[in-house]
Amino acid sequence: MALVPLLQQQRPHEPPGTGSSLTVPEWQLYILRTAYGVLYTGITTDVARRMSMHQNGKGAKSLRGKGPLELMFQFAAGDRSSASHLEYHVKQLTRLQKLRLISERPPCLNDWLIRIRSD
């Protein structure tokens, strides 16, 4: 699957009161670390709410009973489709590549993914 310029697909946010009553939620890609050091990647429109769900055993089954969770990385991913594509590509990374992503915190995740694939 080829990477597409996902960030170019994002809709610009309108200032409050500009006539649009519909607000498109901003999707976020996030990476959590369990107490055992396992990295988990997901997407949501509300990272704090999702973290709370995971901590309380109501999120992903793979995180239940894994102890305290730490938010390691989050990135504004645009709409749901863009976020899902980014999530897929981040989940294909090795653990070392994910740790590199966390430490580098690139301003454009799509460009970073293209570069990491060519390394």
- Name every residue whose Cβ is closer than 8 Å to that of residue 52 and which is 6 or more positions away in sequence: none
What's the N-to-C CA distance of the chain in angstroms?
Answer: 18
Domains belonging to the chain, first-starting first, are 25-118 (3.40.1440)
Q: Which two tokens stand for residue 64?
A: 């239940």
Per-residue pLDDT of the chain (119 residues; tens, 9 = 90+): 444 444 443 444 444 444 555 677 899 999 999 999 999 999 999 999 999 888 888 878 788 787 889 999 999 999 999 999 999 999 999 999 999 999 999 999 999 999 998 88
Q: Which two tokens stand for residue 41?
A: 């990647």
Contact 110, 89 (CB under 8 A): no
CA nearest to 45, candidates 9, 4, 77: 77
